[in-house]
Structure 1
């Protein structure tokens, strides 16, 4: 079922009276905002949590690793869930999991309890995000999806933007538990809206659960995400990393072969037969790889290299990240009018230039210079993510929408984990090389300069990935609108 709608704000109305678009979009926007806000907001609290729970950095990182691992395991199953259960059932389930996770986090008094809350939150987010994108594809016609996706992207990108800033204020004035408490309160509001206003926008089928496919998917995506996440903090020579990656890669190969041979696969890989989907999904994955690795090392550089407080770091990163979110509706309208090519090519060129400039930061770089480059990079990101993914999904037939959204979200999780792991590894190697070449390697005053050298290498690596994405963008063509 497809219904037409206007493209902005409260004026969203369905062309068919049985589908009310605005409450559906509002419920998804609120819940998606909170889900992504809580994910990034917690990152700035990790240092405080190490002291609260008396654990080391390797242990505290499991709050992020466990979240990514849960997402990596469950998101590939979302295509099956969307076909088997109604929109309303899945939305309510996602909000219940997210709300319970937030409530547990708000009252957590030990690291183990907080870890459980993160896993439960990840379950809710893993259900919600693919469902949200699939719903937008169904309720909006192809010629208006850009504007609709832009509105959703406004929330998706704005939440991580203000997460660190708000978290810094909350931690300073109230305490880290209130990050979860605030999230719980807003999630309950979204849940109430969903209970009364969420509608079933597509017909459900009863595809069978293929146990072997589910096992291979779990081992494959879970192994790869766990392996790369562990490598970022424990080193590539660890047997755990080697075994996890080996098991994951073998399982993914077997999973792919099985899916291509099944008449009703768990995750239909035939979507890659559509060239614009293939190109778009990998451009989005590479962009997510760059984005997450940059969001990891830039705060470290600001805090350790330039000796800037946590709250100030959030304020420095706010203009670029906020502008990225605020530009999303504009990018959606430009996509609807002109297609993706004139957005993604300049966007990747802009992002490549920003990363090159970032690779030259030093201990004397000014804050205004950092803010300007960050704004440049985030504008580039806004020109890539939504246009590339929407154009790719537009090429798919409706019966493949659940599989397409599941695959794009899965690739983002996997490439995000790979990007952060490689960023940590490259940064550590660059720092170690800098220290080894110093006259007095044991001098603690070398640490800021050493970390900055490692950060330079990470941004240089990001530029190489961005150039690869730029070459991919040259093959982008606008998907023909239905006549």
Structure 2
């Protein structure tokens, strides 16, 4: 049995993951600022987010293959090099094009790092300690995006948006140095055959679907736009062909045998439910607070900080509870809490107090922390070790797709709700009427999220604890 210095390995992966996730959301707050600085439209600025998601959507399906072709250290160095170069270019960016290139490089770094993080945990931790380790990943995935808007709001107010990236750079370098010293090669390099057609179909398929939904969420022309419809249809056709090809290959790029494991499917469905809820509510709530309740970007960031911070802090704790008691006693109550909070959210008005909204947001994020990591860890635990890279690739890829779909549906529900109200209004351009329209649109989005959470709750009743039978490596703490 090989011994690993798990603390140092985790430290390097978590520092880099935290910084990557932080800069992903920090830039969202700066979008309106960037539109002024670079003299670009909202649709062009939106590409900073769409391009990021698109790169992740294209790269994630290939990570299963990359994890078998490159050693852990090679993949880690490649991911960090891409993140560091991207962050440096962003910090020095003089125009929109430079910033766009930087975002693609940053996304490529993250797209390699996140699956590497999950896969490393599955290999170096025994099953009875995986929940707590996955909980720390949950802390990064939730807490970093939560602090992004608040810190970015401060930096933009007192310095410039460039400092979002100058702040991130030293941490990435520290993470790289720790990793170079302590990160071992934990996976076996099997070098399966590379199939160019699979790569092409996966790129067109996942890329087309993510791009189509992201474009629909931008609001121009929405779902009736030819680009949106063509992207989604072509993407879906390519995905069907991709799936068929994987089934008949001896060494598939993305092994769909992971779908033979029932708890993996239940875990995946619950993770996708969480992703859709988080992304649809995380986009609508700040818009509602800023446009409906007329709060500043900084105040909005502060209001959303307690819930998101608590979610991050509780993730490792939930992981330990999962290790002890299994998933059922966390996931079912967690989704029940989420559904109740979203139901209350669907009745918020302009007169709702700040304390009420912060409390609901805290409840929502605590509920999500009870579901996400336990469901994900339990699902991945059922897979045999040779399917770990494929299981993490499937989960991470479909999360990006679910995120793009959730965002697009949320924005279109919001827009149609607002338009419906404003067309029946006698003075649609009045600020009071605009705020009311925003309120009604937001209520509809939260109602949609409530329905998604109830479906998730029904799925949660099928979850069973996985008892891991295959041998695992030992870990040093």
Q: Which residue is 1:203 aligned to?
A: 188
Q: Are the aligned partners of 2:67 and 2:187 in contact in 1 as well (CA < 8 Å)?
A: no
The structure 2 residue matched to 1:395, chosen from 354, 364, 382, is 382
Secondary structure of the corresponding residue to residue 466 of structure 2? coil
Whose RCO is larger (CA < 8 A, sep 6+)? 2
Aligned length: 468
| CA-atom RMSD in angstroms | 1.0
Q: Which residue is 1:162 aligned to?
A: 147
Return the alpha-carbon distance in structure 2 between the equivalents of residues 469 and 25 of structure 1.
31
Secondary structure of the corresponding residue to residue 365 of structure 1? coil
Secondary structure of the corresponding residue to residue 244 of structure 2? helix
Q: Which residue is 2:53 aligned to?
A: 68
Return the alpha-carbon distance in structure 2 between the equivalents of residues 328 and 442 of structure 1.
44
Matches within 5 A, 1:86-165: 86-165=71-150
Q: Which residue is 1:84 aligned to?
A: 69
**For 1:110-133, what per-residue CA distance to the aligned partner results, in whole angstroms no more than 9, with x for missing partners?**
111111100010000000000000
> TM-score normalized by structure 1?
0.96
1:346 aligns with 2:333: yes
Moved over 6 A (4+): none
Matches within 5 A, 1:392-471: 392-471=379-458
Return the alpha-carbon distance in structure 2 between the equivalents of residues 138 and 70 of structure 1.
27
The structure-2 alpha-carbon separation of the partners of 1:481 and 1:206, relative to structure 1 and needing over 3 Å to count, comes to closer
**Unaligned stretches of 5+ in structure 2?**
471-477
Q: Which residue is 1:12 aligned to?
A: none
Q: Which residue is 2:475 aligned to?
A: none
Return the alpha-carbon distance in structure 2 between the equivalents of residues 57 and 464 of structure 1.
30
Q: Which residue is 2:370 aligned to?
A: 383
Post-superposition offset of 1:183: 1.1
Secondary structure of the corresponding residue to residue 245 of structure 2? helix
1:284 aligns with 2:291: no
Q: Which residue is 2:295 aligned to?
A: 308
**For 1:31-79, what per-residue CA distance to the aligned partner results, in whole angstroms no more than 9, with x for missing partners?**
0000100001111111111111111111111000000000000000000
Secondary structure of the corresponding residue to residue 327 of structure 1? helix
Q: Which residue is 2:157 aligned to?
A: 172
The structure 1 residue matched to 2:40, chosen from 34, 50, 55, is 55
> TM-score normalized by structure 2?
0.97
Post-superposition offset of 1:439: 2.2
Post-superposition offset of 1:197: 1.7
Matches within 5 A, 1:317-328: 317-328=304-315
Q: Are the aligned partners of 2:428 and 2:434 in contact in 1 as well (CA < 8 Å)?
A: no
Return the alpha-carbon distance in structure 2 between the equivalents of residues 197 and 136 of structure 1.
15
Post-superposition offset of 1:441: 2.8
1:224 aligns with 2:212: no
Q: Which residue is 1:259 aligned to?
A: 246
Q: Are the aligned partners of 2:378 and 2:466 in contact in 1 as well (CA < 8 Å)?
A: yes
Post-superposition offset of 1:274: 0.1
